[in-house]
Amino acid sequence: MKRILFFAALLACYLLFSCALESDRRKTKGFKENEKKVAIKVRRNHTTADDGKTRASTSSKSAKGGGSKRSGAGPRADSGCIRLGGICQPRRYVCQGHYLKDQCSGASTRQCCMPAGAWSILCAGHHNNRVRACDGFGCGAFNSNRGEDLHKAVDVVCEDYATVNAPFSGSLAGPVGRTGPNGIQYDGVKLLNDVHCVKIFNIRPYRYIGPVSQGEVLGYLLPLQERFSGITSHMELQMCDGSDPSPFI
């Protein structure tokens, strides 16, 4: 009987010891799993924060890059050149007329080629702008000899009382005069736009102020035959800066 009780006590102790070991093993496993979960969560949070910073930085750079691109002056349109009757092209190309700067988009070497004879016909009834040849009163070409001076204008052939048209679109800027035998004679009008400025003499303008379109009637030619019999009737075209208007007509 004592032996049976002894073995029963041993068995009970063994069972208690086994249960205690199993409990400790489960607690250790649970603790390790908790540590692993915490580590994974920390790594995820760290990665998310880094991604947020990276995206924010990228977005900021993109915004800066985009802002820089937008803030820079965009290319100027070619409409200014087209409106003047020219075409935008690299300056290395041949231009039959002459080049104008700052009228085209792109690089500075891309300029507006204005063809020869870009202005319209000034005198009604003519097919072209013909420069007055030499007659008994002088010559009409630019830099022709006029006594001790040079003729800093171009005389365009036109009949007395013929209507005179605007060579280009722009605005009339008032009457213009010059000194003649009888003092200052106000027998002309100034016409200008963003590119050109001219004074047209020997005409009686219908008005002196306001916008005009290319080809619009400005007035009529004053009679020259009454004062200078035999002269080639003409209007006088003078650039405001004293340059040669011949390439435009």
Domain boundaries, the chain: 1-72, 79-114, 144-248
- 100-128 confidence digits (pLDDT tens): 788 898 898 999 887 765 788 999 989 88
The pLDDT score that the predictor gives to residue 17 is 63
Please give the order of strands across the beta sheet that includes 87-90: 87-90, 110-114, 98-100
The rounded radius of gyration (Å) of the Cα atoms in the chain is 46
Pick the CATH number of 144-248 from 3.40.50.1220, 2.70.70.10, 3.40.50.300, 3.40.30.10: 2.70.70.10
Which amino acid makes up residue 15? L
DSSP 11-43: HHHHHHHHHHHHHHHHHHHHHHHHHHHHHHHHH
Which residues of the chain register pLDDT less than 50?
Answer: 31, 38, 42, 49, 54, 56-75
The pLDDT score that the predictor gives to residue 43 is 56
